[in-house]
Amino acid sequence: MASYLIMTPPGAPADDERARFIADGFSWAAFFFPALWLMSKRSWLLGILVAVLQILLIFLSAVPGALAASLFMQLALSLLVSLEGPLLVARNLRKRDWTLRSIVPARDLETAEEIYFSNIPATADRRTATPLPSLDGSATKQAESTAGLGLFQPYGER
């Protein structure tokens, strides 16, 4: 079962039809074509960097005795992009002021959409729905104001 990150464009309500559902999991396309996959997701700089690294690894494989090391590094690069690539896409959207609305565990995209849109509160103005904290770990103003509510605080005060 995969988790889906639900992100909405800047200033859009929680039920916006342009919401992006990003599967947080392994991507076969990113495993077999890491540079092209990154470029297709508009991560131009990283895509070019991975392409250059792949080309260098191809040249390294021509050196006698370095074939195994080159294949191992190529496999490691492919695994890194295929496992962390979807989170990179979400981070790039966050940099463009997209809002992380929810994380939904579901079997497939249709189930994730159904779960997400059925759990949105039926209020007149859905723009006030509380977004989730940033993917990069930076604290929001609300988190800063409740910094004292930690692990060792009494449960009755939460």
pLDDT per position in the chain (158 positions), as tens? 788 999 999 988 888 888 899 988 888 999 999 999 999 988 889 999 999 999 999 999 888 888 999 999 999 999 999 999 888 888 988 999 999 998 999 998 899 999 998 888 754 344 555 556 655 555 444 444 444 444 444 444 44
Q: Which residues of 55-66 are buried (b: 16+ CB within 10 A; e: fewer)?
A: eebeeeeeeeee
Phi/psi at 134 (5° precision): -65, 150
Q: Where are the domains of the chain?
A: 2-119
Torsion 7-9-15-20 (CA) sign: negative
pLDDT given for residue 131 in this prediction:
59
pLDDT given for residue 36 in this prediction:
95
Whole-model pTM?
0.66
Q: Which of 112, 84, 101 has the alpha carbon at shortest distance from 4?
A: 112
Which residue in this structure is represented by tokens 């890491």? 34
CB 46 within 8 A of CB 89: no
